[in-house]
Homo-oligomer: A and B are copies of this chain.
């Protein structure tokens, strides 16, 4: 824990010169800068965090609020936390965790104690209580996800509707006229904001294109994942030649397994596309086409917006939807019997 004073002494300059040399906030003679940097390195000097916060009116910390809900999907959630942390480090920011009940009380606490410069809101619910809080506190905040009432907020998210539409476009373009959709469990459509958006995007585009579309929302637990299997079977037997999946990784695996059990090959007999997955769909057997939800994309944008808010930029409150991308892995083809 060397202090700036020691660095100054070692380099034979004043402390203000050290500060400026290290922050780059004003020009320093090359030779002086060299001596300072060397001294700093030798002493393993880093500005004291507390002193910096106090004098610099910058904490270099983001508060990340994440209410681990009962139905939070752990792997996806972890990916977002990790992506946020990595994005933050690019700006020399650290991440402070606010969990559970603390996700709200903590926001207030952090705001009034000046522990963070901005709040990043994760795992957003449609009627999220953090919306009201974000409006009241002094800190800028960015939502990763879109609550129902988002007036005056800065939100970032994948354009889930466009993502679903992209999947529909793909298989429709290949000639499919009947699409089966396997979604999350029904309860998710009430608690989370994105499942309905995927569904809506799918149904809207299907209607626009005049293709048939059947939706099933199976429970994703239970013995042998029976309801996912049932869903696959009923959709296939109902004539679907393309399956669009928006569910967890295990349900993906079960669905593919059931297709195999039914003797349907992918993509020769059935085309399959995954929408909004955070896991690697190319690792399945066979690899599955995907319109993924990329945590780093959302989190990098969120962090960038947060930085601009911190710097005082007046960002227009708005929902920034990230354009989806289609990743082909060979799981789609024209439907069986299609004229080439």
Chain A interface (Cβ < 8 Å from any Cβ of B): 1-2, 44-54, 59, 61, 64, 68, 72, 74-75, 77-78, 81-82, 85-86, 89, 94-100, 102, 106, 108-115, 138, 223-224, 250, 253, 256-257, 260, 285
Contact = CB atoms under 8 A, between A and B. Distances in A.
Contacts of A51: 50, 53-54
A99 B299 CA distance: 15
A85 B67 CA distance: 12
Contacts of A114: 1, 48-50
A339 B209 CA distance: 70
Interface centre among A59, A78, A94 (most CB of B within 10 A): A94
A49 B100 contact: no
Nearest to A56: B50
Contacts of A82: 68, 99-100
19 contacts: A1-B111, A1-B112, A46-B112, A46-B113, A47-B113, A49-B53, A50-B50, A50-B54, A72-B78, A74-B77, A74-B78, A77-B78, A85-B99, A85-B102, A86-B100, A94-B110, A95-B97, A223-B256, A250-B250
Given A50-B50, A78-B77, A97-B81, A45 B112 contact: yes
A257 B52 contact: no
A74 B114 CA distance: 31
B74 A115 contact: no
Contact of A49 (B74, B86, B115, B138): B115
Contacts of A96: 61, 94-97
Given A85-B102, A86-B100, A223 B260 contact: yes
A100 B85 contact: yes
Contacts of A285: 223
B54 A223 contact: no
Given A50-B53, A85-B97, A94-B97, 19 more contacts: A1-B138, A49-B113, A54-B54, A61-B96, A68-B82, A72-B78, A74-B74, A74-B77, A75-B75, A77-B78, A82-B100, A85-B100, A86-B99, A94-B110, A94-B115, A96-B97, A223-B256, A223-B257, A250-B250
